[in-house]
A and B are shown apart, each in its own frame.
Chain A
Amino acid sequence: MSEPELAHAGLNLGNTGALTQDQAENAIFGFWIFLMSDAVIFALLFATYGTMIASTVGGPTPASEFKLLPAFVETLLLLTSSATFGRATIAMKYDEPRRVLFGWLGTTLGLGLVFLALEANDFATMFAHGAYPMRSGFLSSFFALVGLHGLHVAVACFWLVVMVAQVCAYGLDARVRINLLRLGLFWHLLDIVWIAIFSVVYLQGNIG
């Protein structure tokens, strides 16, 4: 920890000037703690799902409802969106032209929206099969877990739009930078949670 820039929790902004380490450090560190508490919420919903996976009460089962292909496409979309968001962060760090930043942010937003559309389609298909959350404990826990993740992605998309408005209004001042860094962390967390959902819910449902 002798290098001061290593003390920074998050993307190193050392050579960009607009933001001091101190400013970024508190804000980003606090957001990491928030993400931890958010992760606890997801952990509990995973645990609930785990205990209720067999509570199908004669209704739809994981094997009958979970399609691997759309889930895999959704995974690729989200993973790609994390990469594009990472690229947007680098564009911010090195003060690349504004259109580059907006281009990558726009791509990220698009991927997020397509993800949400596919997920909504999954849900609609399940509803059409009679697989709705009121049917059984298993479906309640599935929709709570995956639905909450979807809600997070929707919030993140809305946040991204607000951030684009902020960049337009203020340029990349210190607060905009900090908030973009926070949104990036949030976005990547949703990716990680989705990987867990893909493994625990969809893979287990198809293979397990």
Chain B
Amino acid sequence: MTVSVPLWPAMLGRFGWQDLPFVRAWENPTISEIIGAFAGALVVVGAVVVAALLTRYGKWRYLWTEWLTSLDHKKIGIMYIVVAFVMLSRALVEAVLMRMQQAVAIENPGFLSPDHFGQLFSTHGSIMIFFMAMPFLTGMINYVLPLQIGARDMAFPWANSIALWLMIGAAGLMMASLVVGEFSTGGWSGYPPYTERAFSPGVGVDYWIWAVALGSVGSTMAGINIACTVYKLRAPGMRFMRMQMFAWTSLCTSILMIFAMPPLTVATLLLALDRYLGFHFFTNDLGGNMMNYANMFWLFGHPEVYILILPAFGVYSEVVSTFSTKDLYGYTSLVIATMAIAVLSFTVWVHHFFTMGQSANVNAAFGIATMTIGVPTGVKIYDWIWTMFRGEVRFTVPMLYALAFMMTFVLGGFTGIILAMPPLDYLVHNTLFLVAHFHNMLIPGLLYGMLAGYQYWFPKAFGFRLDERWGRIAFTCWVVGFYLAFFPLYVLGASGMARRTQAIFEPSFRPWLYVAGVGAFVLLAALTSLGIQLWVSIRDRAKTRAEAGDPWDGRGLEWSVSAPPPEYNFAVLPLIDGRNPFYDHKHDKGQPDPYASPAAYEDIVVPKGSATSVVIGLAAAVAAFGLIWEIWGLTIVALQVIVAAVVLRSLGRDQHRTIPAAEVAREHEAWLTRVRATPAIPRQLETAGVNRGLAEIVA
């Protein structure tokens, strides 16, 4: 007895059986608890099924050596996007649950308890921002950027992998919160003093803090890596003003990450000091000041909006130019506008709390700064419109997303102008009007962009095209679902309905909530369509092969290599002599043929895979788990593992592999031979089965 009593707390921390949703549902079988238990079971069953399938098909070794420990930027990018899709699925289902609750909870308690509803909106927001949007765009940049600037990898492949694994570890914590314990009810922004221990004593806020903190550190590392890659690894002749727009927006996003993620790290860690050690940064008593939290959180939070949106702007620039068969209109103005947005994004954070009591003059300054951001954004919209003007526009799926974005984003921008006026903001703050506004910005401004990029670059990454028909169905559902789900919220918000409401006592809201509920189901259908599209595309991949690598008559350098590209990206680093080197070279007979055999090959050095980055990311998640459950021993061991892994890696040598020139030559020449046997197809047939990835050159 003397041994067993101190042993259990040391091993289990503050865990009790009540922390399992299954036990809670057994003891108190309400619909709300059963849904919670079902979600927890889904995580467990999902993990078991994946593990069983991997064992059944003997793929563990393949997965470990070829993917999980890979330092290849392309594989890391793909893994990021897989994480993003998994998390998107969860957060979208949560959104549907919330819409259902609000639709039925009109003068009625509904089927979700207030606490469960609070966890749902907190996880939905946290996941969509930190674990859907961030991995999606980081993955897209990871995959595309080195190919676009003519680099063989990112500047720091090992740090790249650590950033990925920190993100996976943090996303794993989000999933663990479904199975053990609970999540925060403090919203995605986690405002104290509500999230202080005095008011939220459970593990929920701790899950939020550590998941977000790990994600923010991972994103800072990703930002440093992306910026350094753009600054230092461009191919010979690739001047800044010759980079593709996506490379430019990646650069601006990475600069924002470097400056804006640390405030989030600081805000969350200071909150952790308050909670764990009784500090008084944001408490109500003993000199705490929650306004410091609000300022730091939004010092991150507002640039974050542009971290999310700028890569999508980059995708649209690529897509609009490619599918309008024209050079991007106003390239220079787009570059300047992107940089202007990046700079201005640091000057507007107070507009997230106009109502928190600073003086009217302060609010006015920030309101004006906020409206100013509309100017460079407007420049971009006009540039894209002018790019399409008199172009030969092909309405492929990515182009449809771009068009839907332009229409929808402008509407969201208008409501943003309304919110930027402090007097009007006072009327609609904390209502569904705001919820409608930011969904109106981020769904077209992030999700559509990422989905457009997914459809656009998928053949590059996997060597076959995505199914066009299911892509269109998914597109239609995303757009129709968005309008149905969010435009009613403008009406509701303007009528005074507060956000994050679990039960509604105003019967006149009913029809709007019903429409929004239908919209949520259409959005769920959109996600399902994406799943079907992937399934159909993999099934029919023999018919949509695009190995020659250029299915859309593309302009950037990424289209000049095979699909999927070799590990080293470029057999010979290209010499850049213009803004669209690949496009110009293939279309101008006077220029060197991009499919000609190079004069000579060289040995290429690529990084070997590394298990240390996996260990570091997962150990960080384990350390966080120990902190959440107050299993201090676990945390200490995990931190020691991290230190040991870093030191071991620094002591290791022989971390690179040389691919001999002969092997590069053999692979590249074989590909060139296949390209020469590939039929060139006109753009009009690019979605047909004959498209093998070689564009026809029209004189």
Whether A30 touches B280, Cβ cut-off 8 Å, given contacts A40-B262, A44-B266, A165-B651, is: no
User: Among A11-19, A50-58, A92-100, A197-205, which stretch is in contact with chain B?
Assistant: A50-58
CB distance from B650 to the nearest CB of A (A): 7
Chain A residues with Cβ below 8 Å from B180 are: none
**Complex Cα spacing A200 to B410, Å:** 46
Chain B residues with Cβ below 8 Å from A143 are: 279
**Complex Cα spacing A16 to B241, Å:** 35
Is B225 part of the contact surface with A, judged by Cβ < 8 Å?
yes
Whether A44 touches B262, Cβ cut-off 8 Å, given contacts A26-B233, A33-B227, is: yes
Judging by beta carbons under 8 Å apart, are B266 and A41 in contact? yes
User: Among A80-88, A102-110, A119-127, A132-140, which stretch is in contact with chain B?
Assistant: A132-140
Chain A residues with Cβ below 8 Å from B653 are: 170, 173, 175
- Contacts of A22-55 to chain B: CB distance below 8 A: 25-26, 29-30, 33-34, 36-38, 40-41, 44-45, 48, 51-52, 55
Is A179 part of the contact surface with B, judged by Cβ < 8 Å?
yes
Give the residue of A45, A52, A135 whose beta carbon is less than 8 angstroms from that of B266. Answer: A45
- Sorting the interface of chain A by its residue count into under 10, 10 to 19, 20 to 34 or 35 or more gives 35 or more
Give the residue of A33, A37, A140, A170 whose beta carbon is less than 8 angstroms from that of B261. Answer: A37
**Complex Cα spacing A162 to B287, Å:** 41
Judging by beta carbons under 8 Å apart, are B651 and A144 in contact? no
Is A166 part of the contact surface with B, judged by Cβ < 8 Å?
yes
Give the residue of A36, A56, A140 whose beta carbon is less than 8 angstroms from that of B273. Answer: A140
User: Among B288-296, B310-318, B392-400, B472-480, which stretch is in contact with chain A?
Assistant: B288-296
Chain B residues with Cβ below 8 Å from A207 are: none
Contact flags B264-301 to A (C-beta < 8 A → 1, else 0): 01100010011001111100001111001000100100
Is B228 part of the contact surface with A, judged by Cβ < 8 Å?
yes
Whether A134 touches B224, Cβ cut-off 8 Å, given contacts A57-B287, A166-B650, is: no
Q: CB-nearest residue of chain A relative to B225?
A: A30
Whether A134 touches B651, Cβ cut-off 8 Å, given contacts A45-B266, A51-B292, is: no
Judging by beta carbons under 8 Å apart, are B279 and A133 in contact? yes
Whether A30 touches B228, Cβ cut-off 8 Å, given contacts A57-B287, A138-B287, A166-B651, is: yes
Contact flags A132-157 to B (C-beta < 8 A → 1, else 0): 01111110110110000000000000
Whether A33 touches B258, Cβ cut-off 8 Å, given contacts A140-B279, A165-B651, is: yes
Is B155 part of the contact surface with A, judged by Cβ < 8 Å?
yes
Judging by beta carbons under 8 Å apart, are B228 and A137 in contact? no
Judging by beta carbons under 8 Å apart, are A29 and B261 in contact? no
**Complex Cα spacing A169 to B266, Å:** 37
**Complex Cα spacing A30 to B224, Å:** 7
Judging by beta carbons under 8 Å apart, are A136 and B287 in contact? yes
Whether A137 touches B288, Cβ cut-off 8 Å, given contacts A33-B258, A37-B259, is: yes
Q: CB-nearest residue of chain B relative to A163?
A: B650
Judging by beta carbons under 8 Å apart, are B232 and A25 in contact? yes
Chain B residues with Cβ below 8 Å from A56 are: 287
Q: CB-nearest residue of chain A relative to B228?
A: A30
Chain B residues with Cβ below 8 Å from A133 are: 273, 277-279
Judging by beta carbons under 8 Å apart, are B651 and A137 in contact? no
**Complex Cα spacing A34 to B259, Å:** 10
Judging by beta carbons under 8 Å apart, are A134 and B279 in contact? yes
Judging by beta carbons under 8 Å apart, are A41 and B262 in contact? yes
CB distance from A126 to the nearest CB of B (A): 15
CB distance from A54 to the nearest CB of B (A): 8
Whether A37 touches B262, Cβ cut-off 8 Å, given contacts A30-B228, A179-B650, is: yes
**Complex Cα spacing A67 to B299, Å:** 34
Judging by beta carbons under 8 Å apart, are B277 and A134 in contact? yes
Chain A residues with Cβ below 8 Å from B155 are: 26, 30
CB distance from B653 to the nearest CB of A (A): 7
Whether A44 touches B296, Cβ cut-off 8 Å, given contacts A52-B289, A144-B279, A179-B650, is: yes
Q: CB-nearest residue of chain B relative to A30?
A: B228
Judging by beta carbons under 8 Å apart, are A30 and B156 in contact? yes
CB distance from A22 to the nearest CB of B (A): 9
- Contacts of A45-75 to chain B: CB distance below 8 A: 45, 48, 51-52, 55-57
Judging by beta carbons under 8 Å apart, are B228 and A41 in contact? no
Whether A34 touches B289, Cβ cut-off 8 Å, given contacts A48-B281, A140-B281, A179-B650, is: no
Q: CB-nearest residue of chain A relative to B646?
A: A162
Is B185 part of the contact surface with A, judged by Cβ < 8 Å?
no
* 12 further contact pairs, Cβ within 8 A, besides A30-B155, A166-B650: A26-B155, A30-B156, A41-B266, A44-B296, A44-B299, A48-B266, A51-B289, A133-B273, A134-B279, A136-B286, A140-B288, A144-B270
Instruction: Identify the B interface with A (CB < 8 A).
Output: 155-156, 220, 223-225, 227-228, 231-233, 258-259, 261-263, 265-266, 270, 273-274, 277-281, 286-289, 292, 296, 299, 647, 650-651, 653
7 tightest Cβ-Cβ pairs between the two chains A and B: A137-B287, A55-B287, A140-B279, A40-B262, A30-B228, A134-B278, A136-B287
Instruction: Identify the A interface with B (CB < 8 A).
Output: 25-26, 29-30, 33-34, 36-38, 40-41, 44-45, 48, 51-52, 55-57, 133-138, 140-141, 143-144, 162, 165-166, 169-170, 173, 175, 179
